[in-house]
Amino acid sequence: MVIIDGHHLTLEDVVAVARHGEPAQLAPGARERLTRGHAWVQDILAAGKPVYGINTGFGIFADRRISAAQAAQLSRNLVLSHAVGTGAPLPEEVVRAAMLIRANTLAIGYSGVRPVLVETLLEMLNRGVTPEIPSQGSMGSSGDLAPLAHLALVFTTDDADRAEDSGWAIYRGQRMRGKEAMQAAGIPRVQLGAKEGLAVTNGATFSAALLALAAHDAGHWLDIAEITLSMSLEALMGVSGAFDARVHRARRHPGQQAVAARVRELTRGSTLMDAGGRVQDAYSLRTAPQVQGAARDAWRFVADVIEREINAVTDNPLIFGPHDAISGGNFHGEPVGMAADFLGIAMSEVAAISERRIFRLTDGNLNYGLPSMLVNTPADAGLNSGLMMPQYTAASLVLENQTLASPDSTRSLPTSGEQEDHNANAMTAARHAREIIANTAHVLAVEAYTAARALDLRLRQIPAARMGNGTAEAHRRLREAVPYTPGDAWWAPEIARTRAVLASPEFLAAVLAAARPQP
């Protein structure tokens, strides 16, 4: 059970609820804060003082006064008019992550909404109602307006209660109108009150959801990249000196030191390391700690940013007391957009250096005596293409990443009659980071597949050689799932199975356990 109190949500909590169906519940203290915040909104309405979004219009219409009697209609109109997203629907896990993050944001108590809004979002998560949310149309400021409005269509309503105004949702694998899905799940829809329409649509919540899942996944693939690096190093009889702890302490970067330490651990006991008698290796081997370590440091920064964001108040205005409402800009997605760009750049480089190792493993002029394209024997070359084409695929994904990693947060266009004259483009940045990580995962799968084959061929050349404890375990588990094929075969399904093995937390845990020194 994940307890929502506005302050302690973690990336692991987001993954547990979004992907694994862990139930979520509102903390009692948060319910009390929500009740108090809603009462403050009622005080503001009674006083009649103009407060943005409570008794005024939105955006360029912020100077237009709205009567207290029209407050509910103002909220409903906001939802209806802002649900204008487009593009393919977001994956259900992203929508579920966004619902959890939005509930946590509102639970802090400065948004002025009733507890029933948060409890409804949590009930939808717990009972499996997932709104269908278009993936495009958000500027990332004022938050993810269009996606959040599509979310609100499903769980909010008005006196007319028209099914055609309730959006779409997935319930028990079926796509249906939001009204129908909520009825089927036994969850009453909510009529919005003053400020509530703005509170549920204002904030970079879908950007944060995308980045939270992406950051979680990136952490896993950074660990896998150290395993594929170690396998490639042994297959190419790499020079161990480049991973000496003294070298990396001298530069001081923690990520670099961590990567080098992990390689030393994974290759402990190897007789293939240094077997080539070289003084130093090419950059794709020798400087991997500097490149992958920089990515690890970037990932740590991004993880810190997104953990703050998913526990932050991100709408506007904020209600701090009975007559204390302040208009600010916490909805602006710049922190998320910049972090997403940074993560995308970092993971793009992880894929890039991995692809260079794949190229080196398959090139008969660079792989130190292995057959060109890793065909079974040199005599098979020509009749068999070997692993020529998997390297093409990796190169294609790296080139795509280079385009996707071009920063989105530096791009802005004004909206709402220049009232919103600088926008974050955060959701696009987060979507691109997610795509980059998926591409990088496949490149690493190609490297693991290629390195495993290269190790088979190398051990055939040097039967007495021994792999490191960690790399041997990785190789063993990969070969259990994907046995060695002497001649050409349909490599694609085998690479897909390799990727599935690498994606498993059990694989990572087993390899790291094997690499640790035994007592």
Contacts of 277 (CB under 8 A, 6+ apart): none
Residue 52 is a catalytic residue? yes
Same domain, yes or no: 164 and 301: no
Of the three residues 160, 177, 203, the one that is the final residue of a domain is: 203
Query: Is residue 68 domain-resident?
Result: yes
| Residues 122, 248 within the same domain | no
Q: Measured between alpha carbons, how far is 259 from 226 in angstroms, rounded to an integer?
A: 7
State the Cα–Cα distance between residues 329 and 141, nearest whole angstrom.
9
Q: How is residue 316 annotated by DSSP? A: S
Q: Is 389 helix (H, G, I), strand (E, B) or coil?
A: helix
- Is 420 within a domain? no
Show the CA angle centred on residue 254, arms to residues 253 and 257, nearest 5°: 90
**Comparing 19-28, 66-75, 201-210, 407-416, which segment has the lowest mean pLDDT?**
66-75
Give CA–CA dist 469/516, Å, rounded: 8
| 215 shares a domain with 176 | no
Q: How many residues does the chain have?
A: 519
pLDDT digits (tens, 9 = 90+) for 81-126: 999 999 999 999 999 999 999 999 999 999 999 999 999 999 999 9
> Per residue in 142-197, pLDDT tens?
889 999 999 999 999 999 999 999 999 999 999 999 999 999 999 999 999 999 99
**Residue 69: predicted pLDDT:** 79
Among 50-64, 180-194, 267-281, 407-421, name the one with the lowest average pLDDT: 50-64
Return the percentage of the chain with pLDDT > 90, whole number.
Answer: 89
Asked whether 125 and 45 are in contact (CB, 8 A), the reply is: no
Inside any domain, residue 419? no
pLDDT at 72 over 90: no
Residues 350 and 430 in one domain: yes
- Give the contacts of 354 (CB within 8 A, at least 6 positions apart): 225, 228, 229, 394, 440, 443, 444, 446, 447
Q: Are residues 157 and 295 in the same domain?
A: no
**DSSP of 57-122:** --GGGTTSB--GGGHHHHHHHHHHHH---EEEEPPHHHHHHHHHHHHHHHHTS-S---HHHHHHHH
Kindly report the backbone phi and psi dihedral angles of residue 24, in degrees, each rounded to the nearest multiple of 5, phi listed first.
-130, 150
User: Does 324 reside within a domain?
Assistant: no
pLDDT bin (cut points 50, 70, 90) of residue 47 is: confident
Q: 156 has which bridge partners?
A: 190
Overall average pLDDT of the 339-354 stretch: 98
- Dihedral in degrees, nearest 10, Cα atoms 130, 131, 134, 135: -40
Q: What is the pLDDT of residue 244?
A: 98
Whether 71 has a pLDDT exceeding 90, the answer reads no
The domain that contains 140 carries what CATH number?
Answer: 1.10.275.10
Average pLDDT, integer, range 300-329: 94
- Residue 3's DSSP bridge partners are 25
| Cα 264 from Cα 246, distance rounded (Å) | 12
Band (46; pLDDT cuts 50, 70, 90): confident
Q: Say if 365 falls within a structural domain.
A: yes
- Report the Cα–Cα distance between both ends of the chain, in Å, rounded: 36
Q: Which amino acid is at 320?
A: F
Structural domains counted in the chain: 2
Which residue's structure tokens are 């923690």?
254
Q: Are residues 85 and 20 in the same domain?
A: yes
pLDDT band at 58 (very low <50, low <70, confident <90, very high): confident
- Give the C-alpha separation, 20 to 125, whole Å: 11
Last residue of a domain, one of 187, 203, 219: 203
Task: Tell which residue, 289, 299, 292, 310, has the closest CA to residue 342.
Answer: 299
* Segment holding 169, helix H or strand E: strand 168-171
CA angle 213, 344, 15 (to 5 degrees): 5
Q: Which of 52, 110, 368, 449 is catalytic?
A: 52
CA angle 119, 125, 129 (to 5 degrees): 110
Domain boundary among the residues 135, 170, 203 is at 203
Give the pair of three-digit tokens for residue 400: 């795509």
* Domain hosting residue 130, numbered range: 2-203
Predicted confidence at residue 48, as pLDDT, reads 81
In a domain, 232, yes or no: yes
Q: Is the CB of residue 292 less than 8 Å from the CB of residue 353?
A: yes
Q: How many C-alpha atoms does 102 have within 13 Å on its Cβ side?
A: 35
Tell whether 443 and 479 lie within a shared domain: yes
Work out the mean pLDDT of the chain and round it to a whole number: 96
Q: Is residue 434 part of a domain?
A: yes
**Per-residue pLDDT for 53 more than 80?**
no
Rounded-to-integer distance, Cα 397 and Cα 416, Å: 37
Q: Rounded CA gap, 231 and 353, in Å?
A: 14
- Kindly state whether residues 132 and 195 are assigned to the same domain: yes
Q: At 25, which helix (H) or strand (E)? A: strand 24-26
My answer on whether 299 and 350 are in the same domain is yes
Q: What is the dihedral of CA 302, 305, 306, 307, to 10 degrees?
A: 120
CA separation for the pair 28, 277 (Å, rounded): 66
Residues 110 and 144 in one domain: yes
Cβ–Cβ under 8 Å, residues 371 and 384: no
Q: What is the pTM of this model?
A: 0.96
Which band of pLDDT confidence, cut at 50, 70 and 90, is reported for residue 242?
very high
What does the pLDDT average to over 362-369?
Answer: 98
Instruction: Please indicate, yes or no, if residue 151 is contained in any of the structural domains.
Output: yes
